[in-house]
Structure 1
Amino acid sequence: MKKLMLLSFMLLLLVGCNGNDSKLTFSEIHLEKASAKVKDFITQMEINEDGTGNGIYVLNGKKDKFYLFLSQEFLDKGKSFGSIDVKEEENTLTIYLNESSDIGQEDQVSYKLYEINRLKDYEFLRVFKNGKETHIQTVGV
């Protein structure tokens, strides 16, 4: 009886531990909290911007995470940064980006930086801006 209860407890513990690792998550982070590698990448991308790009950059981090950087080039005139959503669909990771037309003093930021914790390596990475598929301007490793 004790062995059965111990086995049940261990199984419950293992399931609980694995449940937390199986979520695709993303969060906005501030540049001050980013690693030196991320800061260097962003600085280089800002230096290379010439006004003709789409302002969407990806930097691979550790095996289970990467960074999405959106610069001012991402925004259309009169728009501000809006919402983001990230979804997994089989072997595809899809990022949905939206601009906002509501511009307030607090919305006038010069960039957005997101850390995306992925579940696995994906065969495809798709990016949509305001419902239309677009591309990533630069991918860093």
Structure 2
Amino acid sequence: MKQFILLILIVCGILTGCGGNKVTISEINLEKTNDIVKNFIMDVENDEKGTGSGIYMYNDSKKRYLYLNQNFLDDGKEFGDIDIKTDKNSINIYLNDISNSEGEVGTYKLYKINVKGDYEYLKVFKNGEETHFEGIGT
């Protein structure tokens, strides 16, 4: 019986450890990033003309940072939820804005995306429609 339980634990450990390609996303505070990411965001804000998509990506080895500024938002909207899905060759990021019910809107959102595996495409969607990155830095 003990050998059977041990065998089950080993199999579960192997299956958990061999998760293959996996991508996770989490919201982070700007102060918790390194100076290179902070400088990229400062450059974006200094160069911003106010007419872009407001969606930016910074690539740092296996970590990627997704930055959304005010230009992402339509009038009367605030930052909504985010979801990330993968398929064989692509990472798909789904962003939403929602109606602003409180009158107060955040000035930006910053996310860290951890990537395991290789993907050929990186796509971004706003409210279900494919859009584009305003800028990508490395």
Indicate the TM-score class for this superposition, using the shorter chain for normalisation. 0.7 to 0.9
- The alignment partner of 1:32 has SS state of helix
Partner of 2:30: 31
Q: How far 1:103 moved relative to its partner? A: 3.5
Partner of 1:79: 77
Tell me the C-alpha RMSD between the 2 structures: 2.3
Stretches of structure 2 that go unaligned for 5 or more consecutive residues are: none
Map 1:61-140; keep pairs closer than 5 Å: 61-63=60-62, 65-104=63-102, 108-140=105-137
Greater share of residues in strand: 2
In structure 2, C-alpha distance between the alignment counterparts of 1:61 and 1:50, rounded to whole Å: 25
Cα deviation code 1:47-97 (max 9, x no counterpart): 01001111100000222x200000111111111000100000110100000
Are the counterparts in 1 of residues 59 and 137 from structure 2 also a CA contact under 8 Å? yes
Q: How far 1:11 moved relative to its partner? A: 4.1
In structure 2, C-alpha distance between the alignment counterparts of 1:16 and 1:89, rounded to whole Å: 19
The number of aligned residues is: 135
Identical-residue share of aligned pairs (%): 47
In structure 2, C-alpha distance between the alignment counterparts of 1:87 and 1:94, rounded to whole Å: 5
Q: How far 1:21 moved relative to its partner? A: 7.4
Q: How far 1:19 moved relative to its partner? A: 5.0
Q: Would the alpha carbon gap of residues 84 and 103 (structure 1) be closer, same or farther in structure 2, given more than 3 Å must change? A: same
Look up the equivalent residue of 1:58 and give its one-letter code. Answer: M
Greater share of residues in helix: 1
In structure 1, C-alpha distance between the alignment counterparts of 2:101 and 2:114, rounded to whole Å: 29
In structure 2, C-alpha distance between the alignment counterparts of 1:29 and 1:121, rounded to whole Å: 23
Runs of 4 or more off by more than 3 Å in structure 1?
7-14, 19-23
TM (normalized to structure 2)? 0.86
